[in-house]
Structure 1
Amino acid sequence: MDVFVCRGCGTALTAPLSPVALPAHAHQSVGHVMLPPLMEPGTYAVDPAPSGAPWRWEGIGEAEAEAQGVFAPMGSVSFGARGRTVVAPGDTRGTVLIPEKCDGDCFGPDGRDGPNLACERCGLPVATRIDDCSQWQAVWLEPDAVRPEPAGEPAPPPLGWESMTRNSYSTPPFAPEDTWHYRWQAAAGSALAHLLVASDGRPLTLPDGPVMDLLGRAVARLLPPGPAAKSVALAGPGLRASDAAVAVPDIALVPRHPRTGEPWKPPSDATVAVPLATEVWAHLALPRETSPRPMSGRLPDGVLRDDYPLPDRPWRLFEPDQKVFRRTLARLPAVRQPWLRALYDGRTTP
């Protein structure tokens, strides 16, 4: 475990934290909605790409954008630091707000002015608190102002893939207010960008069921139908080749390791891996809990049933998050291919 301390005076600025993969929804923004914390308590993640202020909206050349990891025009490009660390707001310690840096659009600061939290002891700006509507609540630590130090016992080694279970990692697709979960929409938007790159512009054959529900409508709009389609299947720990409609698919939707963020490697080198957020993959791929419960009515005494009522579904069909899709695609070098750039430029949208 690590605790992050101020580079100016050594004051501890966080509780002891364990590293995890950066969530797919880390930079997601939605409508006029108050979102919960991005990170689980006791965890932190590092964003290797530039993020946060300062932002630039115009006058950015292709080479300059590429240096920031952007390969297609975006409305704004971050020229912030690489390697910023994100933690849950409740895991911070010893910081105070910088009032003149707390501007935002609606309910709270959105980080537009750069670091808005200072070390309480020495006054060094150390982090940016995000607490506005449409954004996940978070504190982003600045890499040039803080450093990690070991805290207590070393973190255990990353769990093996065989430890993955549905109950441990799965996130349901529906939010409590009977809408599609924003995390699912972000995960689908990110996976869709990688899926298009893997397709090479050819048609895709998706398996019927939850994968079709997740990506089918977007794929149908973005890629033409026709022969010579590439096959897509779920693959990963706990799934046998016989569980898929195609034993060796051309493209496999695989989970990202929840701690390291590395995608699971398909057994065949002929299969291209497309990473999907672990909490979504687990819900789609791993067996459901089927504990039986007593049945009343006409069934004889002692007869148990293991079926469950169908969950409520939102009134609208599921769609990937378009902003996450475009942001992910813009950061993949393959977007420079003419056919993919045409999709990115809005001639077809997901």
Structure 2
Amino acid sequence: MTVFACAGCGAELTAPVSRVALPVQAHQEYGDRYLPPLMEPGTYAVDPEPYGPPWRTWGETGADGAAARGVYAPVDAVSFGPAGHVLLAPGDTRGTVVIPERCDGCCGSAGGLGPNLACAGCGLPVGTRIDDCYRWQAVWLAPGTVLRLPVDGPPAPGAGWEWAGIPPIDPTGCWSPRWEAAVGIALAHVLAASAGARVAVPGGLLTTVFGPALDALLPPGPPVRTLALAGPGLPAPGADVVLVPRHPLTGEVWRPGGTAPAVPLDAEVWAHLAFPGDGARIPATGGLPAGVERDDPLPPSPPSGFRPDRELLLRTLARLPAVREPWLLEVYAEARGRR
């Protein structure tokens, strides 16, 4: 396990935490809805990309300058902040104080003014707390301001490939923001792997979450390529593009056999798609005819069709070198121009 300490005075700034993969919703914004902490207690993740201010417009940066920052298509602003921010739950911080003049946002801090947390011991700005109404609650510790100190703790969970899935509908009866984030990111990779050809999606929930967006963004006509799930416990699908799990602890992407492009998908979203269960609802005694469900309680039903997270789709596409191909750049421009 790890404790993060102030690089200025050595004071401990966190509880002991274990590293996990960066969550798919780390950069998600979600309307005016209050969201819970992004990270589970006792865990941390590292963002490998540049994050935070200063920001420069695409015109100021230029295509070559943006590419050097890992951005390959026009965006509103390019981050010139450092890479390697440490992400953890606000409740795992220790010995920090808020810098009030750097707390922006309407209902909390949005993190737009730079580091707003300082070491209580020496006053060194060490990170940014985000808890505004449209962001997942999190603390981002800035690289160069903290030290990693190994500490004793319980052994990390095994890195096996078995975990439970999460349902696509949250307790409020709406589509899960995590599903929308995961599918938005994976959709960008599916588009790149399609080579501009129409993609056929198997029926069921996979079609519900991927099909409409693929139909809207790829050219009309009969499908040329196929999309399917692949991974532990599934037979080889024989598809042209496969969706595979990304390990929630290590970030490792499952490597299937064959030559089909493998698109990483949030492991717990993948698990629900791959092994949804039979969904049977059986009364305490007796049984129900095949195809009949109890109406007490009714299963939750979202008020609208599923929509992959558009901003994360665009963010991911802009960071794929393949987006510089004319056909995919046109798809990117089309996605930017529509809701």
Preserved contact between residue 11 and residue 94 of structure 1 (Cα < 8 Å): yes
Q: Distance in 1 between matches of 2:279 and 2:75?
A: 46
Q: How does the TM-score come out when normalised to structure 1?
A: 0.89
Q: Which position in structure 2 is the counterpart of 1:182?
A: 177
1:108, distance to aligned residue in structure 2 (A): 1.0
Per the alignment, residue 83 of structure 1 pairs with 84
Classify 1:200/1:291 alpha carbon distance in 2 versus 1 (closer, same or farther; 3 Å): closer
217, 228, 247: which one pairs with 1:257?
247
Deviations 1:195-219, CA, capped at 9 Å, x for gaps: 0000010111111111101100000
- For residue 326 of structure 1, the aligned residue among 314, 322, 329 is 314
How many Å separate the matches in 1 of 2:291 and 2:126?
A: 53
Specify whether residues 129 and 222 from structure 1 end up closer, same or farther in structure 2 by C-alpha distance, changes over 3 A only: same
SS class of match (1:339): helix
Distance 2:31 2:151 in 1: 39
User: Quick one: which of 262, 265, 276 aligns to 1:276?
Assistant: 265
Report the residue type matching 2:51 in the other structure: S
Contact 1:222–1:343, Cα closer than 8 Å, also in 2: yes
1:207 partnered with 2:202? yes
The C-alpha deviation readout for 1:73-112, integer Å capped at 9, x for no partner, is 11111111100010000000000001111122x1011111
The Cα of 1:177 is off from its aligned counterpart by 2.0
Aligned to 1:312: 300
Q: 1:94 to 1:73 in 2, by over 3 A?
A: same
Per the alignment, do residues 91 and 305 of structure 1 end up closer, same or farther by CA in structure 2, a change over 3 Å counting?
farther
Runs of 4+ in 1 over 4 A off after TM superposition: 289-294, 303-310, 347-350
Q: 1:154 to 1:306 in 2, by over 3 A?
A: farther
Unmatched 5+ residue regions in structure 1?
A: 242-246
* CA deviations over 1:323-349 (Å, ceiling 9, x no partner): 010000000011111111111112774
Over the matched positions of the two proteins, sequence identity in percent amounts to: 54
What pairs with 1:27-66 in structure 2 (closer than 5 Å)? 27-57=27-57, 58-66=59-67
SS in 1 for 2:171: coil
Q: Secondary structure at the match of 2:60?
A: coil
Counting matched residue pairs gives: 334
Counterpart residue number, 2:163: 165
Runs of at least 5 residues in structure 2 that lack an aligned partner in the other structure: none
* Aligned equivalents of 2:292, 2:97: Cα separation in 1: 52
Partner secondary structure for residue 59 of structure 1: helix
RMSD in angstroms over aligned alpha carbons?
A: 2.3
CA distance in 1, matches of 2:15, 2:289: 47
| 2:94 alignment partner in structure 1 | 93
* Residues 202/131 of structure 1: CA separation in 2 closer, same or farther (3 Å cut): same
2:153 is aligned with 1:142: no
